[in-house]
Structure 1
Amino acid sequence: MSEPPSVPPTGGPEPSNQSYPPPQPGYGPGYPPPPHPGYGYPPSQPAPGQYPPGQYPTGQYAAGPPPGSPYPPNDPTKLDFGKAFSWSWDRFRDNLWPMLLPGILMFVAVLVFGGLMIPAGIWAFSNLETTTDAYGYSTTTGSVNAGGLLLMVLLGILLTIALIYLYMAVYAGSIRTVNGEPVTNRTFLTTIRFWPLLGTMILVGIVVTIGLILCIIPGLIAMVLLQFAPFFVVDRKMGPIAAMSASSQLVRQRVGDSVLVFIAIYGINYLGQALLYIGSIFTMPFTALLHAYSYRRMSGAPIAYDTAVQPGWPTTPPGAAPQYGAQYPPNPPYPPQNPPQQYGPGSYGPPS
């Protein structure tokens, strides 16, 4: 009995009592080799902002390509200094007058209160008389005028309060700007959460002062670690201690970017102060915008007028007025928790 042919007959109908299996994939021409177990293609991801409600990308493909991929990783919290400066300059240029108001008022306050403190000081110490004897020793006699001294102290307190208030208003204005709210004359003149922010600034000042007394270096480290604390108070509704802790944690996650931001901001402000303090009128709002942008970028939160957002977050629409502290989780890192409700294609907000 002969063996069945190894290939189908070349002519005539195929015998009904014989079947020939197709060539196995990967073992014949025109067939790709089978994928190795564990090296399949990654699951496809929907476009940013189009994830199903309550679902966001997770796993290795959410943060970027897998290790060893020829494509660079997509880290939404990495700070691009060129983009940060460009964004800050565009916002400053487009809203020049409202952003210059706090600096102008600070300069006027220094002139007025400082000018009044000079005659108050003269009045306070006008009764003092200094005499020098034949041997060159000086002796001061007389009494300090209590009324003049009290006036001088009062003027100093009022000046300090005015400067602190305006400085806090600049923090609030920068957060309003990164939220995409319309910039008006009130934007950089009104504060958000005045007392918690004041308490935070006092605590930060105490910690930094103690650090500077301890050989300066600890003070500089504290300034870097706590630089974002006011933003956490204004933007996340945190208390002073929680905001200082959150700032320290964020800086430790982004040490290099945080140090560069600190150097850039203090360097620019120093140049403004070197120009008879008049330059601070311009540098203070610009550096506040740069600081707020850096804080939002490194924490992974959305930024108005900026396209480099964290996956799942749409760009904050201009004109929005969010409730501060309601958008983001309380501690870094800040992945989105609940996607904004989308009422129409590409729009975020109730239908008009």
Structure 2
Amino acid sequence: MTNEPPPYPGEPNPSSGDLPSYGSTPPPPQGGYPPPPPGGYPPAPGGYGAAPYSAPDAIGYGWRKFKDNAGVMIAATLIVFVGGLVLGILSEVIAPSPSYFAPGGDFDFDAGATVASLVAQAVTGTFVYILVAMLTRGALDVVDGGNFDIGRAFGALDIVKVLITGLLLSVLSTIGFALCVLPGLIFSIFAYFTIYFVVDKDQDPVQSIGSSFSLVGRNFGDALLTGLLAVLVLLAGTLLCLVGLLAAIPIITLAGAYAFRRFQGEPVAP
């Protein structure tokens, strides 16, 4: 007589030799697959299941990717430099920046000259955004696992949409900085990812500004810290006789592309 329960009706009585030994792994069901290991599937690289976002990691990522694409990114930055310089000179030729002090040292405000100068800066600054958009599109290509290619980055731009976005950003930021600087600074912070949304998500200018405000607002602490570190990188580049900016600008653009992807939970290339 045994203590084993009787078999259910219609089922064979298994013998002790058919039972797995204690501590062993039972065989998979007929025709099936073994169960997954404990803990589920490994996390996907990049934004999905990756480590928490870190501002220093963003700058470090920008530095590593810059080293991999140094030559072409320095060339692209030179294009931005030269283009911006030419447009800045053109702005001064069209409407010189007024002097607010008379020869005797008295304050002298010329409203007409000030408005003309601001308009000229806004218009010429609009075309700088084409160069900025090229650098941004190339940085996104790198973060997505490709190489920086100036021709491909230019070719991927919707020039009309970039121009309209640039004009809108130039006008709004110029007005903001004219209103005691602080409003312009706040606008610049929250509108930072506007061009990223234009060149990557094909959003219209107004929608892209709203998307940038929303993205920065949801990640304000990380975005602000990343921005502060980016300013330090720019200062370091400036102190190196301005030559360091040829590295600093690509680094912070790549860091911005990294943050843009990570803030949206999108993957980035290792």
Q: TM-score with structure 1 length normalisation?
A: 0.49
When the two chains are superposed, the root-mean-square deviation of aligned CA atoms in Å is 3.6
Deviation at 1:79, TM superposition (A): 2.0
SS in 2 for 1:192: coil
How do 1:8-47 residues align onto structure 2 when only pairs under 5 Å count?
46-47=40-41
In structure 2, relative to structure 1, the CA distance for the partners of 1:204 and 1:77 (3 Å cut) is farther
CA contact (8 A) 1:79 1:297 kept: yes
Separation in 2, partners of 1:282, 1:194: 26
Q: How far has the Cα of 1:13 moved from its partner?
A: 9.9
Query: Relative to structure 1, is the Cα distance of residues 190 and 98 closer, same or farther in structure 2, using a 3 angstrom cutoff?
Result: farther
C-alpha displacement at 1:46, in angstroms? 4.0
Q: Deviations over 1:156-213 (max 9, x none)?
A: 99x8687543322101101111111233453565552222222222212222222222
Give 1 or 2 for the bigger CA radius of gyration: 1
2:72 corresponds to 1:98: yes
Partners of 1:88 and 1:290 within 8 A in 2: yes
Q: Deviations over 1:104-159 (max 9, x none)?
A: 33455578x59x98xxx8xxxxxxxxxxxxxx99xxxxxxxxxxxxxxxxxx99x8
Structure 1 residues 305-320: aligned runs within 5 Å: 305=270
Whether the 8 Å contact between 2:127 and 2:163 is mirrored in structure 1 is no
Question: 2:248 — aligned with what?
Answer: 283
Equivalent residue, structure 1, for 2:176: 211
CA deviation profile, 1:235-290 (whole Å, cap 9, x unmatched): 11111111111111111111111111222223423443455543322211111001
The aligned residue for residue 252 of structure 1 is: 217
Q: In the aligned structure 1, how far is the partner of 2:246 from the partner of 2:153?
A: 13
Deviations along 1:72-109, one digit per CA (max 9) or x if unpaired, are xx985942123212221111111110111112334555
**Aligned 1:84-163 pairs, distance under 5 A:** 84-107=58-81, 163=128
Moved over 6 A (4+): 159-162
When structure 1 is superposed on structure 2, of 188-197 and 94-103 the one drifting more is 188-197
The equivalent of 1:268 in structure 2 is: 233
5+ residue gaps in structure 1? 1-11, 15-43, 51-73, 122-135, 138-155, 306-352
Match of 1:231 in 2: 196
- More relative contact order in 1 or in 2 (CA 8 Å, sep 6+)? 2
Q: Distance in 2 between matches of 1:97 and 1:278?
A: 14
SS of the residue 1:88 aligns to:
helix
The one-letter code matched in structure 1 to 2:237 is G
Q: Which amino acid aligns with 2:214?
A: Q
Partners in 2 of 1:49 and 1:79 — Cα distance?
15
- C-alpha contact 1:176 1:187 (8 A) present in aligned 2: no
TM-score with structure 2 setting the length: 0.63
Q: For the residues of structure 2 that align with 1:76 and 1:48, how far apart are their CA atoms?
A: 10
More helix by share: 2
* 1:199 aligned residue: 164
The number of aligned residues is 205
Report the 3-state secondary structure (helix = DSSP H, G, I; strand = E; otherwise coil) of the residue aligned with 2:247: helix
SS of residue matched to 2:151: coil
Task: Tell whether the 8 Å contact from 1:98 to 1:188 is kept in structure 2 after alignment.
Answer: no
Structure 2 unaligned blocks of 5 or more: 4-37, 94-102, 105-120
Calculate percent identity across the aligned residue pairs. 25
Cα distance change on mapping 1:80 and 1:163 into 2, 3 Å: same
Aligned to 2:55: 81
